[in-house]
Amino acid sequence: MLSFFRVNDPFRLIGIGVYLLILSLVYLLLFPFPFTSTQLTWVLLGERVGDGLLLYKDIIDDTGPLAAGFFTIVDVIFGRSQLAYELIGRALILFQILYWNSILIKFRAFEENTYLPAIIMAALFHFSFDMLSLSPTLLGSSFLILALGQLFSQTVLQKETSESTLLIGLYAGVATGFQPNYLIFLPYLIFTGIAISGFSFRQLMLSLIGYFLPLLLVSVYYFWNEGLVEAIEIWPLSFLTTKTNFQSIFDWIILGAFPVLLALIGYFIASVLRASTINQQKQRQLVVLWLIFSAFEFFLIKRQAGYQLVIFIPALTYLITQFFINFRKGVVANTTFYLLIFGLPAVCWWYWQTYSNSNYLIRETTEVYESSLMIMGNDLKPYQKSSLGGPFLNYELSKIYLEKDRGLAEKAKIYQLLQTQKAKQVLDPNGDFKTLLEQFPSLQKEYKATKPGVFELRK
């Protein structure tokens, strides 16, 4: 099977399609995973934005504005379909696989043109079940990989190309609009553009203009809808919230030790034991720095879950391919290949089915709540059969937002939010909503406590 994908024949992509199809059938039909709490958050966000509300202004959450718009489109077309999230996610993964493999062939990243990166990348996406589904990180990484592809083009072109440098920034800016944490890749683009790709001042300015253009358009949209002030206030607060560990780093180390070991061996062989062209050396430097900046991104993320790891996959694919390029035949090469392609997805599927965090997977519940519900806490399970009925979607961010010292005008904004979005039922396990009611006596008259931690709107 290793020799099958080594051949430079586009028909090998059919084998990759079959591989993805078989694993998708296993994941979606035979042994499906339920909705995660993060997926449910994005579903609720899409519903509320579709109702005409504006993220940051009317809904307190830290999702990127472009991702919120995309989730709204998904909600309009498919509603709360988990299958839609899974299939769209796999479509994006297939795009990334085809694009990255084509870039590595086009710019001669290896001694031979091969479709090994495609099958390796497909296997790595099965490291965690939530990496396969639609998410802001997957949307953003689809544009970041386009930017990386343009950086690769700079390692072989010997003339200044304005279009390529503009696209590098543009793709990275769109990625940040989908996933704000990808702001960490702005210094990556600047550093690699200057140090590795040899950007001139003009090229650097073009790249920066491309980067800030989509963010400027988003700002204009918010200004037009009178929500720019709130967006500027909410967005920095998202970096101050408490981190939620849905999956532990220890779990990642256990499951990821094997592919990371292959990547390290591949890097050592390619950089020390094998000769490389200058262009290939530059490409390897781009990939290594990509991994370093991807690691720095984890100082910013607030939901520690497997889907955040998709940003590592292109670089790991490149390095693991180096391993198999240099171990051409033999028992070691074939055994290692089968362990990666079949063993990694199987072991990871079993592990997450067995050890997944109960607060992360939304199991079916028999409890019935009001159709319009607001939860002032981290347990989102009650939202399974209810809609978001208030402005506070992200609890940790909402808590910081409400704890800020505010003047009369700012308190009036909060009161207006609660008045225009009256949830029929509020779950308040930590007493935050009770404190809010004490601050606004007129609002207190509209809600009654039915039991500890539960308030209902008076009829």
Cα of 47 vs its chain's centroid, Å: 20
What's the rounded Cα separation, in Å, for the pair 95 and 146?
A: 11
Based on the number of CB atoms within 10 Å of its own CB, is 52 exposed (0-12), middle (13-18) or buried (19 or more)?
exposed
Q: What pLDDT sits at residue 133?
A: 95
Alpha helix stretches (DSSP H) within 51-110: 65-78, 82-106
Q: What pLDDT sits at residue 160?
A: 54
Over the range 32-48, which residues count as b (16 or more CB within 10 Å of their CB) and which as e? ebebbbbbbbbbbbbbb
Q: What pLDDT sits at residue 30?
A: 86
Other residues' Cβ atoms within 10 Å of the Cβ of residue 183: 17
Residue ranges of domains in the chain: 2-10+78-347, 372-457
The per-residue pLDDT for range 400-438, each reduced to its tens digit, is 988 887 777 778 888 888 888 889 999 999 888 998 888
Q: What pLDDT sits at residue 123?
A: 96
Those residues whose C-beta lies under 8 Å from the C-beta of residue 392, and which sit 6 or more positions away, are: 60, 374, 376, 398
Other residues' Cβ atoms within 10 Å of the Cβ of residue 269: 16
Those residues whose C-beta lies under 8 Å from the C-beta of residue 284, and which sit 6 or more positions away, are: 267, 270, 271, 276, 318
Q: Is residue 24 a contact partner of residue 90, using CB atoms and an 8 Å limit?
A: yes
What is the full DSSP assignment across 178-192? Answer: H-GGGGGHHHHHHHH
Confidence (pTM): 0.93
Residues of the chain with pLDDT under 50: none
Q: What pLDDT sits at residue 60?
A: 93
For residue 372, the surrounding DSSP H or E stretch is strand 372-375
Report residue 245: phi and psi, to 5°: -95, 90
